Structure 1
């Protein structure tokens, strides 16, 4: 549905120095999926998502949406195509002097939607986002979450095939964020709209995304299914994001002391393996003692996912049997080494 081919983007600074925001980025977002792009501040995420609808024109590379090359379109054709690409922003971008109804209706009017259809669409999409009673109130009378729902209704009112989300939940409190993410899941499921979102928050990725790309310094350093990146991150930046959910910072002095008594291991549990008491069974089956040093279990979009750091104390022959048993039970096992 969305294909970015070798996208690069550079700007000129106030000192006329070249600032490279994107470097040869290629991504493909499949029809109907929710694809996340995550990175720290300055990674190039916002520039990337704005290149999809050419709010930012790439310095080089091509942008395809639903098989059409936006990079080669005339201005008139591009304006028409953008109507099928909705976008929501961190700052809501609502007209303060217009009612909720008019905030949605005015853009429809400007794009030539008939008056009778405008009223039907505004009513329909305000109902979908849960604001059917807010037609005639003003943005100043709404909470942050309600303002974002208006912005989502406005984007949906053009009945897009693609929805772009530029840090849409980062200005919201955790409870409101979860409700907005649930709304995006609902929209994706009921309307089949492809969603590309950018964020710096791991819980956004884990809750609703099917696949994810990790950015750093204008480049995509790793991408794939969410479950794969969580269970086996390769790049240092990806590891930092995952470790923020599963911290296991054990001082080297303690590592050395414990490792004299047996291995320290990272255990990854995916899906049904999170329900098995595999670690507790180890102590019963083998002549070892287990001690959990840190751990957490979270819910990804489709399945539970957990990581534990544990110390297995005992003779090498017994600890080897214990580790083999854990692996046979579907647990991913990696031995922790000194930093």
Structure 2
């Protein structure tokens, strides 16, 4: 649906050139929700503004549903953008216009018949749960309600693609969850492909099928969300995952525990998270597992658990127990130092 091919963007400043994007290639499948995550300055906002050509790339192409929009004329691009909705962190609502008019004005500007405008505005206000706020002004709305108006406006041209530029970062946690639930419903019921950028791991966990991790203008890791975050390779990805679980042990504790056994990080995903594996190995092998730290969370619909466990017992018994866990699909990694305990998720 969205294909970003070798995209680069260089800004010219008085202090020289700044490479905001460096040879970025991504593919977003039709009907999916794709998230791009990175810390401040990673290039996320530049990337999403290049997708609908609010910023023109220095090189590379962006194709939507098979059409290379980077090659379109100004008039063709204007028409193509009607199929690309966008929501922003700051809502971008007209303060002097009612909720109804904020959604209707883009339709009026593109010549949509009055009858169709009324039908669309009412339909999309109903979808975002604001039918009773049509005559209200933005100043009378909460932050979450303002973002719902912005989403209704983004949907008004009945787009095939919805872009979200940090659409929840200005909201409190409960409101964020409500907006994410709304995006999930829009994706499922309307079949709209969603590409979002965020610095919040919670957003990726909650809604994204696939993810790309950015740093310094480059994509450093990408793939299915559950694959990327259960087996992170890059340091930035590991930092995001560690933010979920935050396992930390002191060197003194690690050295003390190693005298009577070994410490392992265990990762449970999918079906492996539902089996009482530690209970089973205590009966099969002469070991005593002690959970030092752990948590279970969700990556969209998939459970993902991470534990730090001290296995007390003889080396050969621990080795056999670890082999058994690996056969059951549980990822294992021995923890040797404090720094490892910080990085492991």
Please indicate the TM-score interval, normalised by the length of the shorter structure: over 0.9
Alpha-carbon distance in structure 2 between the residues aligned to 1:143 and 1:165: 19
Q: Specify the alignment match of 1:234 in structure 2.
A: 233
Please report how far the alpha carbon of residue 39 of structure 1 lies from its aligned counterpart in structure 2 after TM superposition: 0.1
Q: Specify the alignment match of 2:295 in structure 1.
A: 296
SS of match in other structure, 1:50 = helix
With 224-233 and 15-24 compared, the bigger mean Cα shift is at: 15-24
Q: Specify the alignment match of 1:222 in structure 2.
A: 221
Paired positions, count: 338
Alpha-carbon distance in structure 2 between the residues aligned to 1:213 and 1:260: 41
1:255-270 matches, cutoff 5 A: 255-270=254-269
Gaps of 5+ in 2: 340-345
Q: Specify the alignment match of 1:157 in structure 2.
A: 156
Q: Specify the alignment match of 1:56 in structure 2.
A: 55
> 1:67-116: per-residue Cα shift (whole Å, max 9, x none)?
11111110000000000000000000000000000001111100111111
1:157-176 matches, cutoff 5 A: 157-176=156-175
Gaps of 5+ in 1: none
Please report how far the alpha carbon of residue 283 of structure 1 lies from its aligned counterpart in structure 2 after TM superposition: 2.1
Please report how far the alpha carbon of residue 278 of structure 1 lies from its aligned counterpart in structure 2 after TM superposition: 1.0
Please report how far the alpha carbon of residue 254 of structure 1 lies from its aligned counterpart in structure 2 after TM superposition: 2.2
TM-score by length of 2: 0.96
SS of match in other structure, 1:213 = strand
With 69-78 and 323-332 compared, the bigger mean Cα shift is at: 323-332
SS of match in other structure, 1:133 = helix
Alpha-carbon distance in structure 1 between the residues aligned to 2:308 and 2:131: 48
Q: Specify the alignment match of 1:185 in structure 2.
A: 184
Superposition RMSD on alpha carbons, in Å? Answer: 1.0
Alpha-carbon distance in structure 1 between the residues aligned to 2:336 and 2:66: 47
Alpha-carbon distance in structure 1 between the residues aligned to 2:250 and 2:336: 11
Please report how far the alpha carbon of residue 229 of structure 1 lies from its aligned counterpart in structure 2 after TM superposition: 1.1
TM-score by length of 1: 0.98
SS of match in other structure, 1:56 = coil
Alpha-carbon distance in structure 2 between the residues aligned to 1:300 and 1:243: 14
> 1:212-264: per-residue Cα shift (whole Å, max 9, x none)?
00000000000010110121000000000001101112222322222232221
Alpha-carbon distance in structure 1 between the residues aligned to 2:207 and 2:76: 32
Q: Specify the alignment match of 2:144 in structure 1.
A: 145
1:20-31 matches, cutoff 5 A: 20-31=19-30
Q: Specify the alignment match of 1:2 in structure 2.
A: 2
Please report how far the alpha carbon of residue 166 of structure 1 lies from its aligned counterpart in structure 2 after TM superposition: 0.3
Q: Specify the alignment match of 1:97 in structure 2.
A: 96
SS of match in other structure, 2:131 = coil
1:127 maps to 2:120: no
Alpha-carbon distance in structure 2 between the residues aligned to 1:215 and 1:67: 25
Please report how far the alpha carbon of residue 335 of structure 1 lies from its aligned counterpart in structure 2 after TM superposition: 1.4
